[in-house]
């Protein structure tokens, strides 16, 4: 999209993922969401004097699973560091993170778009490192007062921060990257990725490269925060790029001359708003965490984690296309729903032996119901056995697709078998002799349609199909159409 613009958009993303552990990163406090404020704390996460942190090994294992899935390099030695800054919801006055020796670095994430809005590409990943979360500040400015409350339940919750290279050049690429990353994390089971609960948070870094008569210049980098959905990320980036270009045209400011700025996304106004100048690395005064031992792993342990990984989304898409001869788009839709939907699809295909037919019914029927009823595939009332029976009836021309959709709707409300439901609805297969007889009857009664068909106007048979369905709702339109055309050709 950016080719027609007077600048190139440069985007890098920082994604904070809450790992699916039951306890925090350095203490045994619960990570459960939604409990009363300040009820999931202890001397360690409250930074009481003398309290000592102990690493949660499960969090490190989940970080390793993610690193292996993203093809990141995992060093055999890593350490913890203190990232110093003051904020009201950070009791220690520093965050335990990783600085110069992260647990993983130098990986890639492949993104593509079946709609063709951008070319497929590998987005580089600089690093993925572990760190603890801060608490939550809640500000109330009602009645002219500015009251703030602090909830420290999140303090110490394990996060994996995944930092991309600035390899994305459009908001659409950024959204695709986030969707694919979330999908991978979900397939791995390392996080529930619930953005509403803060389990996945995104900061977007964006600036512009502009060709001038004096050569290429880069605008100052802006970091955008406060985005609570991938759609919000896309909108924020769409807003920010032209805003930066307008500022550059007014001021001529370039990177290095102006400090990096942090802006917040105002979703109601659909604009970014200035928050503060961004700190430099030196402002954090990193130094090694003295209360935690470094972490060592072996090549054998890394190999064991890699061997434990199941198929990842991109691998599944390629396999579904190859094994079941479905389109890239259908594979994308099915895989993007999650592993349970893939399992449902493959179970259905194994029974009907037609990958495209099964894909059509899932993408156009099953997923529609899941969205309407706001349920997961595990709660879908039609089993693969019953849906396979219905599709087999379509394949055997016992029922046409239109009436099959009517049966489908009835099956949602009943545990009746497909055969019994068809009988209950008065649906039965019409034999070839009955179709032939009805074709000849209607052709004889409609000489103009016959003339049009002889003149090559095959669409004229549509009126006969409508008449046939009125006389016998069980007529298969495809069989009727084919037979009528054959009779006319023989006249």
Same structural domain, 253 and 312: no
- Cβ neighbors of 55 (< 8 A, separation 6 or more) are 25, 26, 80, 292, 295
DSSP code at position 354: -
The two structure tokens encoding residue 447: 């000489």
pLDDT at 141 over 70: no
The 10s digit of each residue's pLDDT in 33-65 is 999 999 999 999 999 999 999 999 999 999 999
d(CA 419, CA 399): 11
The 10s digit of each residue's pLDDT in 390-418 is 999 999 888 888 889 999 999 999 999 99
Burial class (CB in 10 A: 0-12, 13-18, 19+), 479: middle
What CA–CA distances, in Å, run from 186 to 65, 114, 153, 265, 312?
Answer: 12, 21, 24, 26, 10
Same structural domain, 171 and 275: yes
Same structural domain, 294 and 346: no
Domain termination site, one of 373, 403, 424: 424
E strands present in 87-187: 94-97, 104-111, 121-132, 136-140, 147-151, 158-164
Same structural domain, 277 and 223: yes
Judge contact between 476 and 400, C-beta under 8 A. yes
Same structural domain, 274 and 412: no
Same structural domain, 348 and 437: no
Q: Up-side HSE of residue 24: CA atoms within 13 Å toward CB?
A: 26
| 484: three-class secondary structure by DSSP | helix
Q: Where are the alpha helices (DSSP H) in 425-460?
A: 432-445, 447-454
Which residue did the predictor score with more confidence, 433 or 383? 383
In percent, the amount of the chain with pLDDT more than 90 equals 74
Same structural domain, 15 and 52: yes
pLDDT at 278 over 70: no
How many domains does the structure of the chain reveal? 3
- Return the biggest CA–CA distance within the chain: 100
The two structure tokens encoding residue 366: 């099953």
Find the domain containing 44 and state its range: 2-300
Domain termination site, one of 300, 322, 339: 300
Residues paired with residue 10 on neighbouring β-strands, in sequence order:
207
Q: Residue holding tokens 């068809």?
A: 422
Task: Give residue 427's pLDDT.
Answer: 81
Average pLDDT over residues 129-158: 87
What confidence tier does 483 reach under pLDDT thresholds 50, 70, 90? Answer: confident
Residues paired with residue 272 on neighbouring β-strands, in sequence order:
265
What CA–CA distances, in Å, run from 381 to 50, 339, 346?
Answer: 56, 18, 17
Same structural domain, 145 and 275: yes
Q: What predicted TM-score, i.e. pTM, was given to this entire model?
A: 0.86
Task: Give residue 433's pLDDT.
Answer: 80
The 10s digit of each residue's pLDDT in 206-247 is 999 999 988 999 999 999 998 999 999 999 999 999 999 999
What confidence tier does 2 reach under pLDDT thresholds 50, 70, 90? Answer: very low
d(CA 20, CA 377): 22
Domain termination site, one of 275, 300, 325: 300
Judge contact between 410 and 423, C-beta under 8 A. no
What confidence tier does 456 reach under pLDDT thresholds 50, 70, 90? Answer: confident
Torsion sign across C-alpha atoms 480, 485, 490, 491: positive
pLDDT at 1 over 50: no
pLDDT at 173 over 50: yes
| 443: three-class secondary structure by DSSP | helix
In percent, the amount of the chain with pLDDT more than 70 equals 97
Same structural domain, 292 and 348: no
d(CA 70, CA 109): 6
The 10s digit of each residue's pLDDT in 464-479 is 888 887 877 877 777 7
Same structural domain, 348 and 254: no
Cα 4–chain centre separation: 28
Same structural domain, 473 and 370: no
Average pLDDT, the chain: 92
What confidence tier does 276 reach under pLDDT thresholds 50, 70, 90? Answer: confident
What confidence tier does 142 reach under pLDDT thresholds 50, 70, 90? Answer: low
Same structural domain, 314 and 267: no
Task: Give residue 66's pLDDT.
Answer: 98
């Amino acid at each position: 999209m950016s080719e027609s613009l007077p600048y190139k958009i440069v985007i890098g993303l920082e994604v904070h993922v809450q790992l699916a552990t039951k306890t925090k990163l350095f203490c045994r406090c619960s990570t459960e969401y939604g409990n009363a404020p300040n009820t999931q704390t202890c001397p360690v996460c409250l930074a009481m004097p003398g309290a000592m942190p102990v690493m949660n090994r499960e969090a490190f294992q989940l970080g390793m699973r993610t690193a292996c899935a993203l093809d990141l390099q995992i060093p055999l030695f890593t350490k913890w560091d203190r990232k110093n800054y003051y904020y009201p919801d950070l009791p220690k006055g520093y965050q335990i993170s990783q600085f110069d020796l992260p647990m993983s670095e130098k990986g890639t994430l492949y993104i593509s778009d079946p709609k063709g809005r951008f070319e497929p590409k590998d987005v580089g990943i600089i690093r993925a490192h572990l760190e603890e979360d801060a608490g939550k500040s809640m500000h109330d400015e009602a009645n002219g007062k500015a009251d703030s409350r602090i909830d420290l339940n999140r303090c110490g919750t394990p996060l994996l921060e995944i930092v991309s290279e600035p390899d994305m050049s459009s908001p659409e690429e950024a959204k695709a990257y986030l969707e694919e990353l979330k999908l991978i994390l979900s397939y791995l089971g390392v996080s529930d990725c619930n953005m509403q609960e803060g389990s996945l948070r995104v900061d977007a870094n964006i600036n512009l490269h502009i060709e001038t008569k004096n050569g290429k210049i880069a605008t100052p980098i802006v970091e955008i925060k406060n985005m609570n959905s991938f759609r919000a990320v896309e909108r924020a980036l769409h807003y920010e790029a032209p805003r930066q270009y307008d500022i550059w045209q007014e001021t001529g400011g370039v990177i290095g001359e102006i400090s990096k700025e942090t802006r917040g996304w105002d979703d109601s106004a659909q604009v970014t708003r200035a928050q503060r100048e961004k700190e430099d690395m030196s402002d954090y005064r990193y130094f090694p965490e003295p209360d935690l031992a470094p972490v060592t792993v072996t090549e054998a342990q890394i190999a064991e984690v890699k061997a434990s990984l199941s198929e990842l989304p991109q691998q599944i898409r390629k396999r579904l296309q190859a094994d079941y001869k479905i389109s890239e788009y259908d594979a994308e839709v099915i895989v993007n729903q999650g592993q349970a939907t893939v399992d449902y699809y493959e179970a259905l295909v194994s029974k009907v032996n037609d990958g495209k037919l099964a894909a059509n019914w899932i993408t156009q029927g099953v997923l529609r119901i899941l969205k309407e009823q706001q349920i997961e595939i595990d709660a879908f009332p039609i089993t693969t056995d019953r849906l396979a029976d219905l599709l087999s009836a379509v394949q055997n021309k016992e029922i046409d697709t239109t009436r099959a959709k009517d049966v489908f709707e009835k099956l949602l409300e009943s545990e009746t078998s497909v055969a019994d439901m068809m009988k209950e609805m008065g649906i039965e297969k019409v034999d070839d002799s009955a179709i032939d007889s009805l074709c000849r009857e209607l052709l004889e009664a409609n000489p103009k349609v016959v003339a049009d068909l002889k003149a090559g106007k095959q669409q004229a048979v549509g009126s006969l199909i409508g008449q046939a369905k009125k006389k016998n709702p069980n007529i298969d339109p495809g069989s009727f159409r084919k037979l009528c055309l054959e009779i006319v050709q023989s006249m």
